[in-house]
């Protein structure tokens, strides 16, 4: 996969070269990363310990939280280190592996968002068949297939990116090894690589977007046919959290990757920050603050822990 390259390392230019902005940015992104780890881990643990959340929707949500943790961990620690270090070099192999891992988990996340939309579609449009269609076995098959398909896609994508020649400048104008800034450094013709990457992007990201769009068109048509205003409001409320996450994730992704390469500017770094740091940080809050089931499970869990602590304290005092 290494290809005919002569570069052994790259230099990441990072978010900014201003020494005055680097420390505040480091503190901000450190806090963001901590919130990502704590929030998404909390979602995984809460779903695991709360029987009320043992449903397909929250099964997909745990994997979604896991991918948030993973692809943020691929980017954030390196970005934090570079903000405090003058040496921003990254080896060719490390750059390739960072790209591979990030694209893998980001692709899985696209598929998971599509699965969650399909889950809502079946729950609202075919409620009597929900248990049959979205069974536990089907859930595992869907998740396993998303990981497998993402792995195969990213193998091809990484080979097309790093299989060419890198014999010129080695400065990557970004804070991680992303598609556009790395392609700019290739000495060989990038047309075939761009076509392969665009095809994979279309299959995975645009394909997932189409599934989400069709699912919500069907949901809207079904909801509008409901006689009760309360039922309509409840149905839309169950989709609100997912729609917010989809809008942020795909909005920033489409802005970054579906514009001509000649028009990429520093604003791309802002879009990249949005889907690598901001979105994974917001997801736990979106799903917990706007979801009565998650809030209810969290309250029960806290009460259970508090009662256990009180009981343990009482027993120790009597002893």
User: Domain containing 239 — which CATH number?
Assistant: 1.20.1070.10
Distances (CA, A) of 91 to 13, 236, 257, 265: 14, 48, 25, 25
Whole-angstrom distance, CA of residue 235 vs CA of residue 237: 5
CB atoms within 10 A of CB 226: 14
Distances (CA, A) of 162 to 1, 11, 109, 194, 256: 7, 16, 23, 12, 20
Task: Supply the pLDDT for residue 115.
Answer: 93
Domain-embedded: residue 3: no
Q: Report the first-to-last Cα separation within the chain, whole angstroms.
A: 65
Task: Supply the pLDDT for residue 319.
Answer: 60
Task: Supply the pLDDT for residue 2.
Answer: 47
Whole-angstrom distance, CA of residue 192 vs CA of residue 278: 33
Task: Supply the pLDDT for residue 222.
Answer: 87
* pLDDT tens-digit series, residues 119-154: 989 988 888 899 899 999 999 999 999 999 999 999
CB atoms within 10 A of CB 122: 19
- Per the structure, the count of domains in the chain is 1
Domain-embedded: residue 2: no
Are 72 and 2 in contact by the 8 Å Cβ rule? The answer is no
Domain-embedded: residue 221: yes
Whole-angstrom distance, CA of residue 254 vs CA of residue 263: 14
Domain-embedded: residue 174: yes
Which structure tokens are listed for 96? 């390739």
Domain-embedded: residue 1: no
Whole-angstrom distance, CA of residue 39 vs CA of residue 34: 8
Q: Which of 212, 208, 162, 210 is nearest to 187 (CA)?
A: 162
**Model confidence, pTM:** 0.86
Whole-angstrom distance, CA of residue 247 vs CA of residue 2: 36
Whole-angstrom distance, CA of residue 246 vs CA of residue 64: 12
Domain-embedded: residue 246: yes
Domain extent, residue 294, equals: 9-312
Distances (CA, A) of 247 to 254, 271, 274: 10, 13, 12
Give long-range contacts, CB 8 A cutoff, 24+ apart: 138-145: 139/56, 139/59, 139/60, 142/115, 143/59, 143/60, 143/63, 143/112, 143/115
Domain-embedded: residue 236: yes
Domain-embedded: residue 206: yes
Q: Which of 14, 11, 19 is nearest to 76 (CA)?
A: 14
Weakly modelled stretches of the chain, pLDDT under 70: 1-7, 253, 255-267, 289-291, 306, 308-311, 313-319
Which structure tokens are listed for 114? 């599509």
Whole-angstrom distance, CA of residue 202 vs CA of residue 275: 18
């Amino acid at each position: 996969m290494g290809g005919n390259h002569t570069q052994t390392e790259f230099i990441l230019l990072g978010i900014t070269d201003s020494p005055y902005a680097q420390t505040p940015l480091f503190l901000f992104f450190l806090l963001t990363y901590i919130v990502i780890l704590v929030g998404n881990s909390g979602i995984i643990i809460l779903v695991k310990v709360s029987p009320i959340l043992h449903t397909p929707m929250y099964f997909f949500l745990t994997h979604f939280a896991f991918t948030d943790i993973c692809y943020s961990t691929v980017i954030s620690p390196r970005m934090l280190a570079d903000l405090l270090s003058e040496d921003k070099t990254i080896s060719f192999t490390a750059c390739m592996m960072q790209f591979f891992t990030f694209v893998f988990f980001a692709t899985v996340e696209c598929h998971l968002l599509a699965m969650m939309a399909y889950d809502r579609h079946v729950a609202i449009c075919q409620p009597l068949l929900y248990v049959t269609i979205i069974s536990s076995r089907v859930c595992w098959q869907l998740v396993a297939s998303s990981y497998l398909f993402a792995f195969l896609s990213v193998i091809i994508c990484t080979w097309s990116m790093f299989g060419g020649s890198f014999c010129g400048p080695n400065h990557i104008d970004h804070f991680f090894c992303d598609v556009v800034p790395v392609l700019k450094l290739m000495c060989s013709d990038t047309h075939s690589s761009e076509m392969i990457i665009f095809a994979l992007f279309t299959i995975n990201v645009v394909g997932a977007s189409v599934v989400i769009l069709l699912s919500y068109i069907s949901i809207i048509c079904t909801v509008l046919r409901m006689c009760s205003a309360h039922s309509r409001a409840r149905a839309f409320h169950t989709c609100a959290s997912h729609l917010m996450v989809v809008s942020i994730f795909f909005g920033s992704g489409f802005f970054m990757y579906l514009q001509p390469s000649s028009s990429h500017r520093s604003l791309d770094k802002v879009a990249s920050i949005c889907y690598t740091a901001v979105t994974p940080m917001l997801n736990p809050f979106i799903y917990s603050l706007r979801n009565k089931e998650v809030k209810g499970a969290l309250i029960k869990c806290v009460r259970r822990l508090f009662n256990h602590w009180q009981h343990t304290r009482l027993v120790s005092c009597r002893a």
